[in-house]
Amino acid sequence: MIKVGIIGATGYAGAELVRLLMNHPHAEIAAISSVSFEGKKISDVYHSYRFLNDMVCENADAVVEKSQVIFAALPHGLSQELAEKCYNQDKIFIDLGADFRLESEEEYKQWYGGEYINKELHKEAVYGLPEFFRDKIKGRKVIANPGCYTTCSPLALAPAIANGLIETKGIICDCKSGVTGAGRGLSQGNHYPELNEGFHPYKVASHRHTPEIEQTLSKLSGEDVKITFVPHLLPVNRGILATCYARLKDGVTEEQLRKAYEEFYKGEYFIRLLPAGQVADIHDVKYSNFCDISIHTDFRTGTFVAVSAIDNMVKGAAGQAIQNMNIVCGLEETEGLKIVPPAF
């Protein structure tokens, strides 16, 4: 059994890691930590774990000491020193935050206001979106686990952009997220009276996930890609829906697009390409590590539309982190993640 630890176990992503890892056949939760609830049982914080998991939240050092694989579910700016400590002890560090996602320190300074503490360690880190970078993830000790928007948008567009079927200029990623994406801390924006029966965009064309999506799409296309990214807040708990728009290149047919997607995602367990005429829906991926993708063409305007749906807490956070752990540890990639979404 792999001994795993969770730093930040009482946040939404951390609690989801606990839920999923409790059912993993090859992993055992060795320790969990929480700054806000140190000394308390996780079952006192989340009553759904009562009598199923009564582990006491310790400090981060105890988690590192007791674990072989450490998951950090922390806000940006808090993972770099922990990653260095784990790396020096030859332990695997999987960061659900943003500290290792961007390759450019200048972009990290611009969008997050921080600096790289250990530049060499950043060179050792790998971006953990398995469907694209699986071979690079194997054998690495520091994994930058992508978040929700930065997973669903590239997955929607990858086959089209990698095969040169769409223009790389003028791409629009129009995304909607459930409120759990904002984290467990309460703010005016995610307060129930503000959310209920409402729907609005936020950080329009200025969200810090923009350069991360551009980084992935640029790698896939082989050229510099700039996008317009507009996130919206949905009054639901879970789910990310990305509706991505791009200009079709001249002469591209619907058959070419369909074939490109079928071949690109052939054998990918967690990617479900929907039949023509169906549309991806967050309802159909809830609690699962699946990404549903539907593709559409508007030949009247020469526009390609790709829609992807994920559960932001699973494929957009904890599930993908476990998928990365499985790869690094040489396990079957689907271990602990063959979760069937509920029908209603």
From CA 239, how far away is CA 160, in angstroms rounded? 24
Phi, psi of 54 (to 5 degrees): -110, 30
From CA 237, how far away is CA 302, in angstroms rounded? 35
Confirm whether 148 is a catalytic residue. yes
List the catalytic residue out of 57, 86, 148, 152: 148
Residue 172 has a CB neighbour count (10 Å cut-off) of 15
- How distant is the alpha carbon of residue 245 from its chain centre? 21
- Which residues lie closer than 8 Å to 252 by C-beta, 6 or more apart? 165, 166, 304
From CA 75, how far away is CA 9, in angstroms rounded? 12
H or E element at residue 308: strand 303-310
What length does the chain have? 344
Give the pair of three-digit tokens for residue 141. 């000790």
- Secondary structure (3-state) at 173: strand
- How distant is the alpha carbon of residue 16 from its chain centre? 13
H or E element at residue 109: helix 105-112
From CA 174, how far away is CA 122, in angstroms rounded? 30
200 DSSP β-pair partners:
233
Instruction: Note whether 18 and 190 are within 8 A (CB).
Output: no
From CA 69, how far away is CA 141, in angstroms rounded? 9
Instruction: Note whether 285 and 310 are within 8 A (CB).
Output: yes
Integer CA distances (angstroms), 124 to 94, 184, 250, 267, in order: 13, 31, 40, 28
Active site residues: 148
